[in-house]
Copies of this chain bind each other. A is one copy, B any other.
Amino acid sequence: MSGRHRHEPTVEEFVEGIRNGDRRLLSRAITLVESSRPEHEQLAHEILDRCLGDGSASIRIGVTGAPGAGKSTFIEALGLDLVRQGKRVAVLAIDPSSSRSKGSILGDKSRMERLAAHPEAFIRPTPSSGFLGGTSPRTHETILLCEAAGYEVIIVETVGVGQSEIVVNSMVDFVLLLMLPGSGDQLQGIKRGIMEIADLVAVNKADSGRQTIAENSKADFEAALRLLPEKHSGWKRKVLLTSALEGSGVSEVWKTIEAFAAAMQQSGEWNEQRREQSRHLLHAIAEEQLKRQFYNAVRVKEAKAEVEQQVLAGKLSPFTGAVELLKAFRSDRSV
């Protein structure tokens, strides 16, 4: 992106373009956010600083569930429903890239093609490499940019059954957990923590002919939810049956989300949660910067080779070695 090849917009141009809904400039700003180059990060933060405070009218929805639960089909069905209602929808979708190389095992499938073609929808694959299954401070920053661009519904897809859901919970207003019908094994394997952060459970793929098994699963999940502490005092979680493929249950999910938003705004928990999210982002960014300063500090760099050598030779334990590196950082004045 050197100036010789194409015009690099100024911060002013980025901010104005994003606010006017220019998708190309929004995309370029997200690319800056995701970049690891210091000059891009600097520019990204200048843009973000100017874009803050525009998100009060948005709703941020995290959609989680095990691989195969039908997350992208569901998100497309919900997104199409919403754009038909005149809403502007941004989806931060999982990019099925790995930590070591690009691309999914079976090749990239075209995902959410119909939604992607809609002028009021914006779909952005978020890189899952290097951080917790695709949710990171970068995801949070991307949400802020989409809000500045006027997207009213931001859907964040997260992969897997692990820590990434806990992280996404720190940046969305509402968490939807998609489950498959009839999976006793799956229920056993789903950790309680994942259920605990869900505001709504949808038994997805409850297609025609599978109603009985889906109803049974619904009863199982309802029983499981009853055992959990409440997440929000003003909200009672529930379980819905959906078939994204057949289009059933999707509008009920949206109605539930609207009811949730109304209840939370009334109780004041909505704003409290948004404040908590800002605090979380502040700390996440501070910790990232701290780590970077540590590894970039001249004294740490000097000490590292020697400490590593001694640790690898078995002369120094990793614990004592770490203490040495910390001492080097505290005596450093280079950063």
Contacts and interface: CB of A to CB of B under 8 A. Distances in A.
Contact of A279 (B48, B163, B308): B308
A325 interface: yes
A68 B189 CA distance: 6
Contacts of A45: 317, 319-320
Interface stretch (A12-20, A113-121, A290-298): A290-298
Contacts of A101: 192, 196, 229
A293 to B, nearest CB: 7
A213 interface: no
Interface string A181-205: 0010111111111111100000000
A99 interface: yes
A185 to B, nearest CB: 3
Contacts of A104: 188, 191-192
A188 B67 contact: yes
A103 B70 CA distance: 28
Interface in A76-132: 96-101, 103-106, 109, 128-129, 131-132
B289 A322 contact: yes
Interface string A225-262: 00101000000000000000000000000000000000
Contacts of A216: none
The DSSP consensus for interface residues of chain A is: helix
B294 A282 contact: no
A62 interface: no
Contacts of A68: 183, 185-186, 188-189
Given A98-B193, A183-B68, A286 B52 contact: no
Nearest to A109: B188
Interface stretch (A1-9, A24-32, A154-162): A154-162
A296 B25 CA distance: 41
A150 interface: no
Copies of this chain: 2
Interface residues of A, number: 79
Given A104-B192, A291-B290, A285 B322 contact: yes
Given A98-B196, A317-B48, A312 B188 contact: no
A314 interface: yes
Contacts of A291: 287, 290
Contacts of A329: 290
A105 to B, nearest CB: 5
Given A286-B294, A287-B291, A278 B132 contact: no
For the complex of A and B, 5 pairs with smallest distance between CB atoms = A67-B189, A68-B185, A98-B193, A162-B162, A98-B192
Given A161-B161, A282-B318, 18 more contacts: A67-B161, A97-B192, A98-B196, A99-B166, A100-B229, A101-B192, A104-B188, A105-B227, A109-B188, A159-B161, A161-B162, A275-B312, A282-B307, A282-B325, A286-B322, A287-B294, A293-B326, A330-B335
